[in-house]
A and B are shown apart, each in its own frame.
Chain A
Amino acid sequence: DGGITQSPKYLFRKEGQNVTLSCEQNLNHDAMYWYRQDPGQGLRLIYYSQIVNDFQKGDIAEGYSVSREKKESFPLTVTSAQKNPTAFYLCASTPRREGPDTQYFGPGTRLTVL
């Protein structure tokens, strides 16, 4: 089955540690996105990538980093510079780089920083 996988589903880390969230898609989609979801705030865009080896900052990129070395993979690193990293993180993809496409979401990773 085609889709987006995110791992792990739950992640616990100590304050000050970097952590990397995995996102893989086998849909052959060009563009990929990372969102952060907090209660009462909807989804906020962290980073997006329209093509391999290129990515752009979203609205809340500070304290996060990404890479796009392969079309199917878009990992997100939450660094110690992120002041409040505890949240639900969602990865998404769209078929094309541009145009009003449906976003396809993964199941999410819930990160808790202790």
Chain B
Amino acid sequence: AQSVTQLDSQVPVFEEAPVELRCNYSSSVSVYLFWYVQYPNQGLQLLLKYLSGSTLVKSINGFEAEFNKSQTSFHLRKPSVHISDTAEYFCAVTNSGGYQKVTFGIGTKLQVIP
């Protein structure tokens, strides 16, 4: 079985400040990790993913996440947030082999304050 924990349900941060959204996972086998973003009343969009190789992965809009196997974490960071980053962010995990059941965290609402 696999699970995902997003400890922070809401994170308020001032514009141009740095932010970290935390994600921890548990799994008995190798994992693949994803961050998705959801804007109000819309579907989810992939932000970034870790499948293999470099443990630091980056998105095109300045977010990055680092896969830390020893701490079973995949925290999402951005050095300077914009108003447009206001959204809900979901961490997700799936494991190797066969059908890929994806387990999502409960989400973290990022509120960027002007």
Whether chain B is bound by chain A comes out as yes
- Judging by beta carbons under 8 Å apart, are A42 and B100 in contact? no
CA A101 – CA B107 in complex, angstroms?
20
Q: Which of B49, B96, B101 has the most CB of A within 10 A?
A: B101
Give chain A nearest CB distance to B16 CB in angstroms.
29
B9 within 8 A of A: yes
Does the CB pair B43–A98 fall under 8 Å? Answer: no
Q: Does B87 interact with chain A (Cβ within 8 Å)?
A: no
State the CA gap A4–B44 with chains docked (Å). Answer: 12
| Per-residue interface assignment for chain A, residues 1 to 39, with 1 indicating a CB less than 8 Å from any chain B CB and 0 otherwise | 000101000000000000000000000000000010000
Contacts of B101 in A (CB 8 A): 45
Determine if B41 and A97 form an interchain contact, defined as CB atoms under 8 angstroms apart.
Answer: no
Q: How large is the interface on A (under 10, 10 to 19, 20 to 34, 35 or more residues)?
A: 20 to 34
Q: Which of A42, A90, A100, A110 contacts B94 (CB 8 A)?
A: A100
Q: Which of B27-69 contact A (CB under 8 A)?
A: 32, 34, 36, 41-46, 49, 51
Tell me, yes or no, whether A75 is within 8 Å of chain B by CB.
no
| A102 touches which of B43, B46, B96, B98 (Cβ 8 Å) | B46
Does A106 reach chain B (CB closer than 8 Å)? yes
Residues of B contacting A: mostly: loop
The answer, among B43, B90, B96, B99, for a CB contact under 8 Å with A107, is B43
**Inter-subunit contact A101/B106 (CB<8 Å):** no
Tell me, rounded to whole Å, the shortest Cβ–Cβ distance linking B92 to chain A. 8
Please name the residue on chain A nearest to B4 by beta carbon.
A42
Q: Whole-angstrom distance from the CB of A46 to the nearest CB of chain B?
A: 13
A102 — which chain B residues lie within 8 A by C-beta? 34, 46, 49
Which residues does chain A contribute within 8 Å of B94, judged by CB atoms?
A: 100
Q: Does A103 contact B (CB under 8 A)?
A: yes
For residues 75 through 114 of chain A, which have their beta carbon under 8 Å from a beta carbon of chain B? 90, 92, 94, 97-103, 105-108, 110
